[in-house]
Structure 1
Amino acid sequence: MRRLYSWVGYWGALSVQGTVDNPVVFTSNATAPGPADWKGIYFHNWTGDSQSRLQHCVIEYGGGHGSNANLHMDQASVPIADSVIRHSGGHGAYLSSAGASVTSTMISGSQQIGLYLVNSSSVIAGNTVVGSQSHGIYCDDSSSASIDENIISDNRQSAINVHANRVKHLRGNSGTGNGQNYIQVRGGNISSSGTW
Structure 2
Amino acid sequence: MPDFTFELEPFDNQAHHGYRGVAGPYGEAMVFYVKPLGPVRPNQMMRVELVGEHLPETRIEGIGARGQPSTHKARIEIAGTPGTLSYNSLGMTRAARALTIGYAGRQYAFTYLKRLAGDKELTRPGVRIVTKEGGLLEGVGSGRHFTVHGDADETDLAIAIALQSVDTTPLMPGVAVVSAFLRSSANSAGG
Length-normalised TM-score, structure 1: 0.25
Judging by fraction of residues, say which structure has more helix.
Answer: 2
Larger Rg: 2
Length-normalised TM-score, structure 2: 0.26
By relative contact order (CA 8 Å, sep 6+), the higher-ranking structure is 2
